[in-house]
Amino acid sequence: MLENLETAMFYILVMASTLAMLLYLIWLGTKKEFIGQLATYLTIVALIANIMAIILRMLTSGHPPLSNGYEFILTFVGGIMAVYLFAEYRYKLRALGAFVMPIPFLLLMFIIMKMGPEERIAQAIPPALKSQWLTFHVVTAMFAYGAFAVSFGLGAMYLIKLSKEGTQNNLNHQGIVSRFPPLDRLDELAYKVVGFAFPLLTLCIITGAIWANYAWGTYWSWDPKETWSLITWIIYAGYLHARLMYGWKGKRAAWLAIFGFAAVLFTFFGVNYFLAGLHSYAS
C-alpha cells in the first residue's frame, strides 16, 4: 500500500515539475501572468509530492532515504525546488524558474530512463550508512546543491541579458529578457545565494568526514567523492574570495557560478556512476 502511494507521489512529482518547467518557459514569452502563477503553484505541488514520496519511502524502509541513487536524487530535486521557491517568493523572481526547473526535470528523467524498478525499491540500509552524521551530511548537501542550482540559473540569466544589451534592436527591453531583473541585481542575488550555500557545503564536507571516520576509521581517504567535493568547495571559495578581495563581479562571476554548478553535477553524478569508490553504493 505504502509502496503504491509512494509511486503515485513520484509520478505526481514528475508531471507537476514537467508542467511547471514548460509553463515557466511559456510565461517568459507571453504577458499572461496567470501562466506564471500556475507554474509557481505546480512547483509547490511538485515539492509537496517530493516530500511525501520521501516520507513514504522512510516509512516503508524504516530509515532515512539514503540507501541508493534513486533516493539521493529525490533529495537533490527537493532541495532545488525548495530553495528556488524561497528565492521566487523572497525576491519576486519568477523568471528564474525557466532556468532552474529544467534541472529537476532532467534529474527525474534520469530516474525514469536509467533506473529500473529494482534500483528504485527500498533496500536495507548498509552498515556504513547507519549514522546520524550521514543524515546531517545529506541534508546540508541537499540545500547546498539546491542553492548552487539557483546560482547557476542566475548566472545564466545574467549572461543572456548581458549578451542582449547594446544590440541594434535594443532587445534588453523586449522579449524574454524584459522579465529579467537588472544586471546588477542578478549579480548581487547570485552572490547572496552562493554566500548562503557555501557554509552548508562546508558543513556537508565536515559532517561527511566525521561520518567517514565512524564508518571506515578515517576522516579523509581521497575517495573520488571526497576529492570532487573538495574541488567544488575550492571553486566556490574562489568565487567568494575573488569577489571580496578583488571585486570580481558581472560576467566573470556569472561564468564561475556556472562552472561551479558543473562541478556539483560531476560530484553528484560523475563520481557516483563513473568512478569507483567508497560512495559507489549511491549508484
Q: Where are the domains of the chain?
A: 1-123, 126-283
* Residue 125, helix vs strand vs coil: coil
Contact present, 96 and 88 (Cβ < 8 Å):
yes
Distance CA(228)–CA(141), nearest Å, equals 13
Distance CA(59)–CA(159), nearest Å, equals 44
* Residue 1, helix vs strand vs coil: coil
Provide the whole-model pTM.
0.87
Give the pLDDT score at 147.
Answer: 95
242 Cα distance to chain centroid: 24
Listed in sequence order, the DSSP H helices in 32-120 are 33-61, 69-91, 97-100, 102-114, 117-120
Contact present, 264 and 232 (Cβ < 8 Å):
yes
Distance CA(263)–CA(203), nearest Å, equals 18
Residue 148 in grid coordinates: 548552487
Q: Is 213 exposed, middle or buried (0-12, 13-18, 19+ CB in 10 A)?
A: middle
Distance CA(161)–CA(183), nearest Å, equals 7
**pLDDT tens across the length of the chain (283 residues):** 778 898 899 999 999 999 999 999 999 888 788 999 999 999 999 999 999 999 988 888 777 777 778 888 999 999 999 999 999 999 999 999 999 999 999 999 999 988 876 666 766 666 666 677 777 888 898 899 999 999 999 999 999 998 877 554 554 445 778 888 899 999 999 999 999 999 999 999 998 888 878 777 787 777 777 888 899 999 999 999 999 888 888 899 999 999 999 999 988 876 666 655 445 444 3
Cell 532556468 identifies what position? 99
* Residue 184, helix vs strand vs coil: helix
Residue 188 in grid coordinates: 548581487
* Residue 124, helix vs strand vs coil: coil
Give the pLDDT score at 276.
Answer: 53
Contact present, 67 and 13 (Cβ < 8 Å):
no
Q: Give 163's contacts (C-beta < 8 A, 6+ positions apart).
A: none
